[in-house]
Structure 1
Amino acid sequence: MNRNLVSSLVTVLGLLLQLNSTAQPSSTSYPSRQLLLRDEGRSTLNFVDLAHPERNYVVAIPAGRDLQLVGQGRVMIGTGKGYEERDIKTGAKVAELTTFDGTIAARRLRNGSVLLVGLNWQGKKGIVLLELDQNQTVQRTINYPDFTYVRLIRETVDGNFLLTANDQVFEGKPDGSIVWQAQLTNQKKAQHAWQAQRLGNGYTLVSGGYSANFQRFDRKGVWVDSISGPPMVNPHFFAGFQILKSGNWVVANWQGHGPDHGASGTQVLEYTPAGKLVWSWKQDPKKQSSIQGVLVLDGLDLNRLHVEDAQGRLVPN
């Protein structure tokens, strides 16, 4: 065979391998996955069954943040006045709390109580947490007065709380003291960091909001690394995420406020802890605009409350 022809074939083969290595994984990697999505752009709750699309639905919900499996086939969503519980199969509202105007996020704790998050709220300065019992009665108020921003909260296995506060993430104790804190990198603009989760090696994983990445910090609060990309998914704002049983991370890649962002980016991404994008789901621009929260339901018992374990993985309580 002509030496120049062989050289050309090798070059072409190399280019094809390079293109294949950077190609974006698709939803066909998990053809039977079920997803529960919170679309902030259109203020909707979405159920997506890749194997049975006839089961899919989109229902309007109030503005708010976060979503959590709380048992009895229900998902809890935070609202500006408290929370709602929705039937996962249908999206129908089955319970609500509407008497705490100014709520930023809501989370059910391991003890069954609900923790509401607010800012400069309930007569207190800074971040305010209200724990409500099953009768919706306030059992305790926790205050971190030295912060001017807050998004989501996660309970650690030892009963402390991880909170994101713009370009900071911290661990607070129920007595209001701070036991760990870190500063996000990439200070080009306000990060609006979204969610933090403690990992099994003691590191803390943070979805960096407008940093458009994951950031990891060590036990001393020192930045370890960042994970994002590739450019073809249009990383814009890393919001709610879930650590799967496999150890991979699935995150919502939010694209902007309003109803017209459905054609922008790929909005559900799955990474390995080493930073490789191994799966993604491309939203339907006719049905979704800007996804803020995601839950992968496969293998989860929807009749159980789910919280995060010592590895950061979502598990039944």
Structure 2
Amino acid sequence: MTNTISRRLLAIDEGRQQLSLVDTATDTFHWTLDLSPYPLARDLQRIDAARALVGFDRGFFELDIESGRVLHACARWTDVTAVHRRPDGHTLVTGWNLDGTGGVNVLTLDRDWNVVASARRDGDYVRLMRPTPDGTYLLCTNDHILETAPDLTERRRFGVSEFEHAWKAERNGDGTTLVSGGYGAVMVLFDAAGNVQQRCGAAADLPAEVAPFFYASFQQLDNGHLLVANWQGHGPDNGHKGRQLLEFDAQRRLAGTWSAPQRISSLQGILVLD
């Protein structure tokens, strides 16, 4: 029997198009924001103690974490899939056809949200993008991870057969890369050379009630644990299909789960605050 996860986090419910501040220990929803003005919100980043950056289909907004109030919004495009605020204050906006030429783009915005650089490559699919400590970009392009230079020229690609709509890739300090496999419902750790080092979270290794379906956003915690959002499908009535949030320990054994089926249908984005 696993424990109930005890975390304070921002949670995107894709099925009901809502963003909430949740304390999973007590099932407390401190606030819930209707995302209908900000459709297809997928990406979350904490930018300081008080604010988070939220990416959605048309751009991004800055959120006051404690109140759930939208502070500023930038909505200029369609098919934005990822946003990232750099330490210098510039914002990277990733998506498809953002410059009107029908490819995958990463735009760089200055502090005043003016576009100061635009990169493009051929392609029709991209999900979350993360920069690496080496200055490259990791783009999830369905069945593989594409690592590129900032101008989107390919450096290398890697993946496994389970990847289908792979969602997020994150480079660790030791050079390894952790990826959530989307419909493959597996977490895969690649070594610095791009070879598989570890898999975890496969259905065969979990209790049946977890029902892994689509591994979306994840967060690696300071204690070595890993939190994973187990998305269950489009629409408002998926909350009872499986456990929505999974926690794996440092050895990648299932350590805890959490669900709020009356409040969340399909958990997709998470940002741990404690």
- TM exceeding 0.5: yes
Which of 242, 246, 259 is the matching residue for 2:236?
259
For residues 251 and 28 of structure 2, the distance between their equivalents in structure 1, rounded to whole angstroms, comes to: 35
> Does 2:120 align with 1:143?
yes
> Does 2:151 align with 1:178?
no
Partner of 1:210: 183
For residues 254 and 208 of structure 1, the distance between their equivalents in structure 2, rounded to whole angstroms, comes to: 12
Which of 228, 242, 262 is the matching residue for 1:286?
262
Partner of 2:272: 296
For residues 79 and 69 of structure 1, the distance between their equivalents in structure 2, rounded to whole angstroms, comes to: 15
C-alpha displacement at 1:112, in angstroms? Answer: 1.2
The residue type paired with residue 25 of structure 1 is N
C-alpha displacement at 1:76, in angstroms? Answer: 1.4
Query: Superposed, which structure 2 residues align to 1:66-77 within 5 Å?
Result: 66-71=43-48, 73-77=50-54
> Does 2:35 align with 1:57?
no
C-alpha displacement at 1:259, in angstroms? Answer: 0.6
Query: Superposed, which structure 2 residues align to 1:94-133 within 5 Å?
Result: 94-133=71-110
CA, structure 1 residues 179+272, in 2 after alignment: closer, same or farther (shift >3 Å)? farther
Stretch moving more, 204-213 or 63-72: 63-72
Stretch moving more, 205-214 or 85-94: 85-94
> Does 2:8 align with 1:34?
yes
CA, structure 1 residues 52+268, in 2 after alignment: closer, same or farther (shift >3 Å)? closer
Secondary structure at the aligned position of 1:167 is classed as coil
Deviation digits for residues 174-211 of structure 1 (CA, Å, limit 9, x no counterpart) = 13222231022226xxx100000112332211000000
Q: CA RMSD in A?
A: 1.8
Secondary structure at the aligned position of 1:285 is classed as coil
Conserved? CA contact 1:41–1:261, under 8 Å: yes
Partner of 1:196: 169
Conserved? CA contact 2:180–2:216, under 8 Å: yes
Task: Report the TM-score, using the length of structure 2 for normalisation.
Answer: 0.91
Among all aligned residue pairs of Structure 1 and Structure 2, give the percentage whose two residues are the same amino acid.
38
Number of matched pairs: 267
4+ runs deviating over 3 angstroms: 50-55
> Where in structure 1 are there 5+ consecutive unaligned residues?
1-22, 299-317
The residue type paired with residue 45 of structure 1 is L
Conserved? CA contact 2:61–2:73, under 8 Å: yes
Task: Report the TM-score, using the length of structure 1 for normalisation.
Answer: 0.79
Conserved? CA contact 2:77–2:98, under 8 Å: no
> Where in structure 2 are there 5+ consecutive unaligned residues?
none
C-alpha displacement at 1:110, in angstroms? Answer: 2.2
Structure that is richer in strand per residue: 2
CA, structure 1 residues 193+53, in 2 after alignment: closer, same or farther (shift >3 Å)? closer
For residues 55 and 46 of structure 1, the distance between their equivalents in structure 2, rounded to whole angstroms, comes to: 7
CA, structure 1 residues 264+74, in 2 after alignment: closer, same or farther (shift >3 Å)? same
For residues 126 and 151 of structure 1, the distance between their equivalents in structure 2, rounded to whole angstroms, comes to: 13
Deviation digits for residues 149-175 of structure 1 (CA, Å, limit 9, x no counterpart) = 100011111222111000010211113
Conserved? CA contact 1:268–1:294, under 8 Å: no
CA, structure 1 residues 95+240, in 2 after alignment: closer, same or farther (shift >3 Å)? same
